[in-house]
Chain A
C-alpha cells in the first residue's frame, strides 16, 4: 500500500515544509565537526539513567482587541511560562508559572484602562498590524521562558522552540537544549539535506553550526536533526517525524555529548499518533505542561466575560 497518513492533523501546518525548488541552504553553515556526513546511532540511555531534566514551555492567548474613542487599536494578551522537573522523585511542575498580562498599543497618550483591567501592563509597540502584534506577544512569552531558564537549578533544560536569548544571557549554555517541531527553513545544502530522508528512528545527523548572524540573533548554536520513533507506525507516514535540536553550548564536544543523549531523551518522550494531533514532535511532558499552564491562563470564555464587565461597568 503506497498511501500513508500524515500524523499531524491538517489544522496544523505540516512539520516539514516542502523544500522549494532550487533552495540552497545557508552558506555559512559548518558541517565538519563529526567527520563524514552520515547518520549517527548513539548508545541508548534508559529513562532511569537520564539526568535531572527541566522542560520549559509557554502559552499565550490574545484575549481581546479593543479600540479607544478615536478608533486606535490595542490588544489585551496574557502569556505564561512554566517548567516541569523530572528527577528520581517523579515528574512535577516547578513552583508557580510566570505570568504577564499585556496591553499592546502603538499610539501616544494612552487612555487609562478601567480598574477591572488594571493588571494589564501597557507595552508600547511600533506598529499595530495583526502580524507584528502577534509576534510581539510571542516575543513576550519567549522572554518569560528565557528568564525562567536561569532560575532552574542543576540539570538539563529543554526549551520548546528555538533557544531565545532573553533580557539576560544564559548562564550555563552547555545545559540548555531547544527544539523546533516544524522545519520552516532549510539550513543545509541539498547533499546534506538528503541524509534527513534516510535517517531511521533513534538516529541523528552529525552536528552542524548555525552562526547567530545567519538568523539575526545574538547567539551561535550547534544543531542536529533527530528522527523520532512513531508508535503505532504502520498507518502513518514517518518521513515527517523529524526534530531539529539546538544548543548554545560553546564547545563542539559538549554539543556532541548533548546530541547523543538527546536521541534517547526525545525518542523516549515522543508522543504517540494515537493520542496527539502533533505527534511525535509534541513531547508527552510538554503536553502535560501545557495543560497545567492552561489552568493558569484561565478559561478564555470567563476571561472575555470579565473584560466585558470591566469595560462596561
Chain B
C-alpha cells in the first residue's frame, strides 16, 4: 500500500468523484488508478474491517499557489520574496465502490496507489476472469483488457474506431485487435474465427503476413507483456479486383500471389446483386420499386443456369454474340457474355426495341407499371455503371467471388483502386453473402469484418442497400456471429444506430470540432480534450464493463503495414526452400 495523498477538504468530496491533495514527494498523473479507504459510519455495513473502499481513475491534475491572488505572484516567489504554498491536487472519478455504499469520503481519508490486486479491481479485471482480451498497455505499463464477451457478441459486440486519418492509426489498431483475438487465450474458438478486411488505402494491408523489420525491442517487450506473439498474421488470403486489360484475369495489385475476384453474370443475377449498383435509392422513390422488380426478373432468368454467361430466350441483334459452342439445351437461346450486354438486354426489356422508335413498349413483366421517365432514369444509371463494374461482373470466365468464410483465417479484399460505385458494390455484395450464410447457419464460427470509411457506406443521411446491410449487421449481427470492426474519421457522419450498437468504442486523434460533438459525450470532458492531442499509437477505449475510458498505447504492428516495412527473410534455409 503506497499512500499518495489524502482526500482534501477545500473542495467537495462526493461519492462518485473527489479531489486528492498529493503528498510531497508523490505524484499523480492523468489515468493513474488510486483507491481511497475510510470507515463506514455503521461498521456492520462496511467491508473488510468495517471500511469502505472506492477505486477510481485520475482525470484532472492541478498545481497552484494557494491563496495567491495575483498571477504575478509567481515572479515574486521566484525571486524569493514571497513565501508561497504550492498545492498539487488530483481529481478522481470513482470506478468502483466496495461495498456499494454511496458515501462521500471524509476529507483526510488516505488515498493509495491502486496496484496489483487493487488495480485489477479498479478496472474490473477480476470480473473478466480468463475472458480478458489484451488491447494495449495502460500508461502505467499494465496491460489493458476488454472483456471478450463484449466483443464476440455473447454480451455485446462490434467495435467502432474514430480518428483523423494518418495520425490516429485506426487501421493499425484494427489489425492489432484482430491479432489479439486470433492469438489470445481469451478466444477459445480461434479455429472457427475468420476475419474479413477491406483494404481501402494503398496496398497497406497486403503485407499482413510479412514481419515488420522496424519492430523495436520495446515493441517486442510490449507484446511479451500482453502475452501475444510478435509475429505476422498466418493464413491470409489476398484478393484483388482484376485488371481492366483484356485477356487473362490478373489481380490489380503489386503482390503476385493475390487472387483476382469477380462475379459472373449468373451469380450476379441469381444472388440479386443489382441493388448494390444503386447507391442513392432515396433520390427517386419509384426507383426502389423498379430495382426490386428487375432484380427479381434477373434472379428468375438465371435459375438453373451454370454461367458464366447468361442465356436468354429473346433479344435483338445488338445484344447477342453467338459463341461457337452451343449445347442442345441452349438451342434457340441467345447468350449474354458481358455486363454491357446485360444492360442492353435490360434496356430492351424495359423500353422496348429501339427500332420501334417512339411507339416502343417494354415488357410488362419487367416494367412494373412504372412511368417511362422512371424506366429511362433506371437505364441511364445502369449504363453509367458499366465502365465502373464491367471488369468485376463478367460473362467470360466463371466467377470467383471472395469467400471470407473459406479456408483462410484472414481475407484481405482490396478495393482501393475501384471507383466509388464499384467499392459499394463489392462491399455490399460480400457483406450480404456473409450475412446470409450466417443466417442460414452455413458457418458455425464468428466473422470479424474490418471496414474503414463507414461514413461512406452507412452515412447518417440517406438510404442505400449497403447501409441496410450494415444496419442489419449492427443490430442483428452480434447474435449471428458477424462482428463489425468499423472505423471512420468522424462518427458524427455515420448512421447513429451503427455507431450506437458498438459495445467497444475507440477514439484516436480527433479534430477539435469533432471532439465536441454529442457522439463523443460518453467520454468525460478531460478525455475529449485529450483526444485532440493524442499522439500516434495512443487510443482511448471505452467498454461497457469499465465505467471510465482507458487511455492506452499499442505497439508497432509486428506485421508490415506498408511495403517499406517488410522484413524479408533471407536466411539460407528459406532461400533453399524457395529453390526446391
Question: Is there contact, CB below 8 Å, between B72 and A288?
Answer: no
Q: Can you list, as one digit per residue, whether each of A144-170 has a CB less than 8 Å from chain B (1) or not (0)?
A: 000000000000000000000000000
Interface residues of B toward A: which range?
Answer: 10 to 19
Residues of A bordering B, CB below 8 Å: 47, 84, 86, 90-93, 268-269, 275, 284-285, 287-289, 291-292, 295
Tell me the smallest distance from the CB of A266 to a CB of chain B, in Å: 12
Most chain A CB within 10 A, of B67, B79, B81, B84, is at: B81
The B interface, classified by DSSP as helix, strand, loop or mixed, is loop
Q: Are B70 and A91 in contact (CB under 8 A)?
A: no
Query: Does B80 touch A at the CB level, under 8 Å?
Result: yes
B70 near A284 with CB under 8 A, answer no
**What residues of chain A lie closer than 8 Å to B84, measured between beta carbons?**
288
Encoded as 1 (CB less than 8 Å from any A CB) or 0, chain B from 218 to 237 comes to 00000000000000000000
Show 22 A/B contacts (Cβ-Cβ < 8 Å), sorted by A. A47-B80, A86-B80, A90-B80, A91-B77, A91-B81, A91-B82, A92-B83, A93-B83, A269-B81, A275-B70, A275-B72, A284-B76, A284-B81, A284-B82, A285-B81, A285-B82, A287-B82, A288-B82, A291-B67, A291-B68, A292-B83, A295-B67
Q: Are B79 and A292 in contact (CB under 8 A)?
A: no
Output the nearest chain B residue to A83 by Cβ-Cβ distance: B83
Work out how many contacts link A and B, with CB atoms closer than 8 A. 33
A148 to B80, CA, bound (A): 22
> In the complex, A245→B85 CA distance in Å?
29
Q: Which residues of B contact A (CB under 8 A)?
A: 67-68, 70, 72, 76-77, 79-85
With both beta carbons as reference points, the residue of chain A lying nearest to B67 in the complex is identified as A291
Q: Which of A86, A91, A93, A289 has the most CB of B within 10 A?
A: A91
Query: Across the interface, which residues of A come within 8 angstroms of B83, CB to CB?
Result: 84, 91-93, 285, 288-289, 292
Shortest Cβ distance from residue B18 to the other chain A in the assembled complex, whole angstroms: 21
Chain A proximity of B74: nearest CB distance (Å): 12
Which among A91, A287, A289 is the interface contact of B80 at CB below 8 angstroms? A91
Contacts of A295 in B (CB 8 A): 67
- Residues of A with C-beta under 8 A to B68: 288, 291
A275 to B70: give the CA distance in the assembly, Å. 8
Please indicate the chain A residues that have their CB under 8 angstroms from the CB of B79 in the complex: 47
| Chain A residues within an 8 Å CB radius of B85 | 292
Q: Which residues of B contact A285 (CB under 8 A)?
A: 81-83
Sorted from nearest, which 10 A-B pairs have the closest CB atoms? A288-B83, A288-B82, A91-B80, A284-B81, A84-B83, A91-B83, A284-B82, A291-B67, A284-B76, A86-B80
Query: Residues of B contacting A92 with CB < 8 Å?
Result: 83
Contact partners of B81 in chain A: CB under 8 A: 91, 268-269, 284-285
Given A47-B80, A91-B83, A268-B81, 4 further pairs, Cβ under 8 A: A91-B80, A284-B82, A285-B82, A295-B67
B67 vs chain A, min Cβ distance (A): 5
